[in-house]
Amino acid sequence: MNRIVAGAAALNQTPLDWSGNTRRAVAAVVAAREQGVGWLCLPELGLTGYGCEDMFLSPEVGERALASLLDFAPQCAGLVVAVGLPLWFESSVFNVVAVIIDGELAGFVAKQNLAGDGLHYEPRWFKAWPEGCVERITVGGREVPLGDLVFKIGGVRLGFEICEDAWVADRPGTRLARRGVDLIFNPSASHFAFGKQLVRERFVLEGSRAFACGYVYANLLGNEAGRVIYDGGTVIACGGEYVAEGRRFSFQDHVVTAATIDLNRTRLHRARQVSHRPLMGEAAELTVKSAFSPEWRGPYATAFSEADHAADLKEEEFARVMALGLFDYLRKSYSGGFVVSLSGGADSAAVSVLVKLMVDLAVNDLGEEGFRKKLGHIPLAGKPVMEELLSCVYQSTRNSSETTRKAAETVAGAIGASYQEWDVDSLVAGYRTMVEEGIGRDLTWEDDDVTLQNIQARVRAPGVWMLTNIRNALLLSTSNRSEAAVGYATMDGDTAGGLSPISGIDKAFLRQWLRWMETTGAMPEIAPIPELSVINVQAPTAELRPSEEKQTDESDLMPYPILDAIEKHAIRDKKLPAEVWELMVETHPEYDSEVLCAWVIKFFRLWSRSQWKRERYAPGFHVDDKNLDPKTWCRFPILSAGFRDEIAELEQR
């Protein structure tokens, strides 16, 4: 066999959805077979979902996973298929890939390097498999091998790197090359982050070159479990060259990418490598042999054009990944739509526009009928889709301006959302009078500034929650990461909601993205919205103090680019106040060093006292590896000394 057709599938799975996950995996196999694929790689933990969390430790979950595998395997007749699942062995759980040859389970390859950084907690559930070790396990009445295996199938040698295996310095592919593999499958569950696809492409390309083989990379797709979004991003390379790349950010259940791989070409490349040292005397049990050879129906390559592939521009990646994340959250939570308290400012406008993009991109990908089928739990009939799926409410007090009211109305109209205006000033006045009578004094802006600001934000929550309940919808919180870092948000006010989609995004980028959406977009799928000019001309403001004070966010805090730079040094890079100040002085000479010092001190104090707020935020989407979510990315004590000594030293420098 000189040439094979290999395929990589991206699957949109849901944790613990046994029948659904199996059905979607089978559909991918059917699609691959129709495309002439003989060798198919499915994602890591594709039968259970990657986000099962502590349920991986349930023996019953392990049993259900094996049952799903035994149901799935016969559907793979005529192909070589790899699919991931958790496997119990010797009272431990392993992250494995099942290799199915012509509908029969041939063995399991176990992951050797577990992801335990950032939002990954694999060592909590799984044990790492030792290199060069093979055991036997009985599944479905048959004994099959488990471990560090290579499969020799009809003369083709197949090996595996499972997700994190390819991200480490001493990756298994080096040894696989010495074992003479022709093809490496990489079943992955690699979450989206800005610019990450370029990193994936590099290690796939370099792996195929250095190991002189075909390299097939598969990934999950969509919002699988709530916070983490997968972009797909399947890649096939051969001998240091790309041969196929799958479409990212698809709203389909699966995307199959296929390509012809010339094995003689990679074998020639390996023979020419002076540095190649074949591994001699390897134990026989490390290789599983099969005479089966998938039918050759090539040559083949997935039709692919740049128009189908999302650009690497950060603004476009953000638009696409958030639209996909919202769509899957909506359908998997069985919510009836979304509700947004539209303030006329940047954050709520951004959230509302993202819902519009969700509808536009999903309809473009799935078609009108497919879109409605995916949201079959929502009776979409009669009104325009956006009006049914998104309800926006502008809630004014005496401190609200005509500027923000008009901006909210304009944005809602531009995106086609349902729109209402409520005057909640009498509710604010009622709470104020009640409390003043209770404490026996009047509340004043001089003595009770935060109290009087917060009640305005909090009084907006009950009504919009009522509307959310009436619509059986999901209330979207509109707080961003910059606010979360310093606690510039009212708990149970602007943080109210069941989902906080932009809580991982800094304010500076959100404003940049809104300007991009106003003027540029990414035609033809992401059309600009010129009406966003009414948002972009404003200075961000909470609009909670009397209008004569001309309140702005940056006057309350500091310039957002400065805040984000301090956050990067302090939180991402874990630097202490003095060093952060020194870095800020070096990189921002346009500001006086004493002013920068004051801002650094302010940041650290506000950060420390606001951890309890971050702990209470609604779930948000992880799209940036500078995330502050304490449940997945950035752990910090709720109670601490608050950098007291470090700040004192900085003040006394």
pLDDT value of residue 305:
43
- Given a cut of 80, whether residue 625 has pLDDT beyond it is no
Q: Residue range 79-87: average pLDDT?
A: 98
According to the model, what pLDDT value does residue 477 have? Answer: 97
pLDDT of residue 557: 94
pLDDT digits over 323-367, tens only? 999 999 999 999 999 999 999 999 999 999 999 999 999 999 999
Sign (positive or negative) of CA dihedral 463, 406, 558, 636: positive
Residue 277: the pLDDT is: 79
Q: Tell me 241's DSSP state.
A: E
Q: Which two tokens stand for residue 230?
A: 């997968």
CB–CB of 276/136 below 8 Å? no
Q: What is the mean pLDDT of residues 148-168?
A: 95
Average pLDDT over residues 153-162: 96
pLDDT in tens, 469-482: 999 999 999 999 99
The percentage of the chain sitting over the pLDDT mark of 70, rounded to a whole number, equals 97
Q: What pLDDT shows up at residue 541? A: 86
Kindly indicate the confidence band of residue 308, based on its pLDDT and cuts at 50, 70 and 90.
Answer: very low
Determine what percent of the chain falls in helix, strand and coil, rounding each to the nearest 5.
40, 20, 40
Task: Give the pLDDT of residue 310.
Answer: 47
Residues with Cβ within 8 Å of residue 634, at least 6 apart in sequence: 571, 627, 628
Q: Where do the domains of the chain lie, and which CATH numbers do they carry?
A: 3-300 (3.60.110.10), 314-552 (3.40.50.620), 558-653 (1.10.10.1510)
From residue 518, give the alpha-carbon distance in Å to each of 315, 417, 553.
12, 17, 22
CA angle 305, 309, 310 (to 5 degrees): 155
Alpha-carbon torsion 368, 373, 374, 377, what sign?
positive
- Mean pLDDT of all residues in 606-614: 96
Return the structure tokens found at 496: 């109210």
**pLDDT tier, 279 (very low <50, low <70, confident <90, very high otherwise):** confident
In the predicted structure, residue 316 carries a pLDDT above the cut 90:
yes
The one-letter code for the residue type at 574 is: K
Q: Supply the pLDDT for residue 435.
A: 97
Q: Determine the pLDDT at residue 184.
A: 97
Q: What is the mean pLDDT of residues 374-386?
A: 91
Give the contacts of 76 (CB within 8 A, at least 6 positions apart).
Answer: 29, 40, 100, 102, 103
pLDDT value of position 283: 81
Query: Rg for the chain (alpha carbons), in Å?
Result: 27
Q: What is the pLDDT of residue 237?
A: 96
Q: Does the pLDDT value for residue 313 go beyond 80?
A: yes
What pTM was estimated for this model as a whole?
0.95
Q: How large is the angle between the packed helices 507-519 and 314-332, nearest 10 degrees?
A: 100
pLDDT of the residue at 548: 83
**Alpha carbons 428 and 425: distance in angstroms, whole number:** 5
Does residue 307 carry a pLDDT above 50? no
Q: Residue 137 is which amino acid?
A: I
What are the pLDDT digits (tens) for 527-565? 999 999 999 999 888 888 888 888 998 999 999 999 999
| Percent of the chain's residues with pLDDT above 90 | 88
**Cβ neighbours, 10 Å, residue 446:** 6
In angstroms, the CA 452 to CA 428 distance is 9
What CA–CA distance (Å, rounded) separates 29 from 40? 8
- Give the closest residue to 508 by CA, choosing from 477, 485, 475: 485
* Band of residue 570 on the pLDDT scale cut at 50, 70, 90: very high
In the numeric block, the tokens 């907006």 are attached to: 460
- The amino acid at 476: L
pLDDT band at 253 (very low <50, low <70, confident <90, very high): very high
Largest CA distance in the chain: 90
191/24 Cα distance (integer angstroms):
20
Identity of the residue numbered 503? S
Interacting residues of 564 by C-beta distance below 8 A, sequence separation 6+:
482, 506, 507, 508
Q: Is the pLDDT of residue 300 over 80?
A: no
